[in-house]
């Protein structure tokens, strides 16, 4: 059984992968939602060429996406229709400004993908939010075949305001999925490694240290201001990380987002 089932809100994974020697190129990026007050150089239409340049130059096999909108989704799927398949959901279909979390997978590499949307609450299978959270927050889980073995990938976006809300959201995720079976988990956590949720994840998964560890949120300035990223990648222990970095340069004078993207190359080793 390759897909996952839901039994009492617990996602049960089957067919643990045994593939070896496969390299995966992974990009993680918050695409940034356009708001009424968004400055011109940070609007989607301005940044779109930089996002394309980033994707094209890095040529990832997996792209973990946050803050996807109908406009950005339409642009991405139209341009990359032949290269990537998209799997994701909007956190609340009734929102005026729709925002989602998703994953792009290279079509030639992955087969039979299955998607599960998890709301980071005590009712993870229905649209819901934590009481003190501004908006519903979700994780997109994709179960897919690579070389006839199943792997599981997660992209997520946590609440920006309170650390105790983020802690609770990660606890709800841990209550819903078997973290030990996740190959790659990444996203915009809106908090630093000093918070409880980071240590909860790092007990089961391996935090991917970049070669230039610094802030990932730069508000469009491109400035490196601290050693405290809020975007992270975690992988299953036992994987070999060949390269991991924060993409902190611009493309033709434009940054792809107000977050620096994360990029890594990893090898799936034997277990």
Over residues 149-176, mean pLDDT: 95
79 falls in which pLDDT band (50, 70, 90)? Answer: very high
Beta-carbon-side half-sphere exposure of residue 102 (alpha carbons within 13 Å): 21
- Give me the percent of the chain exceeding a pLDDT of 90: 79
- Give me the percent of the chain exceeding a pLDDT of 70: 91
Residue 74 has pLDDT above 60, yes or no: yes
Over residues 150-164, mean pLDDT: 95
- The pLDDT of residue 15 is 43
- The pLDDT of residue 269 is 65
Beta-carbon-side half-sphere exposure of residue 85 (alpha carbons within 13 Å): 14
Q: What are 227-259's pLDDT values in tens digits?
A: 999 999 999 998 899 999 999 999 999 999 999
What the chain holds in terms of domains, given with CATH numbers, is 5-268 (3.60.10.10)
Residue 16 has pLDDT above 90, yes or no: no
Over residues 147-154, mean pLDDT: 89
- What predicted TM-score, i.e. pTM, was given to this entire model? 0.92
Count of other CB atoms within 10 angstroms of residue 177: 24
Residue 177 has pLDDT above 60, yes or no: yes
Over residues 79-106, mean pLDDT: 94
């Amino acid at each position: 059984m390759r897909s996952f089932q839901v039994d009492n809100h617990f996602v049960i994974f089957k067919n643990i992968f045994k593939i070896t020697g496969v390299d995966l190129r992974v990009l993680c990026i918050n695409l940034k939602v356009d708001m009424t007050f968004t400055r011109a150089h940070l609007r989607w239409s301005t940044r779109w060429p930089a996002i394309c340049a980033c994707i094209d130059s890095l040529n990832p096999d997996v792209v973990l996406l946050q803050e996807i909108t109908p406009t950005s989704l339409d642009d991405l799927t139209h341009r990359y229709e032949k290269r990537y398949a998209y799997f994701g959901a909007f956190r609340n279909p009734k929102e005026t400004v729709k925002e989602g979390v998703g994953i792009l997978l290279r079509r030639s590499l992955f087969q039979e993908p299955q998607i599960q949307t998890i709301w980071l609450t005590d009712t993870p299978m229905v649209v819901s939010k934590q009481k003190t959270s501004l908006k519903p927050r979700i994780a997109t889980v994709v179960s897919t075949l690579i070389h006839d073995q199943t792997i599981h990938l997660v992209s997520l976006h946590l609440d920006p305001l309170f650390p105790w809300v983020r802690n609770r959201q990660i606890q709800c995720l841990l209550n819903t999925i078997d973290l030990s079976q996740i190959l790659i988990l990444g996203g915009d956590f809106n908090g630093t490694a000093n918070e409880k949720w980071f240590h909860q994840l790092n007990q089961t998964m391996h935090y991917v240290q970049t070669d230039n560890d610094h802030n990932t949120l730069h508000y469009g300035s491109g400035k490196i201001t601290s050693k405290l990223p809020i975007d992270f990648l975690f992988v299953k222990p036992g994987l070999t990380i060949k390269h991991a970095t924060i993409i902190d340069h611009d493309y033709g004078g434009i940054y792809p987002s107000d977050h620096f993207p994360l990029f890594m190359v990893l090898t799936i080793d034997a277990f």
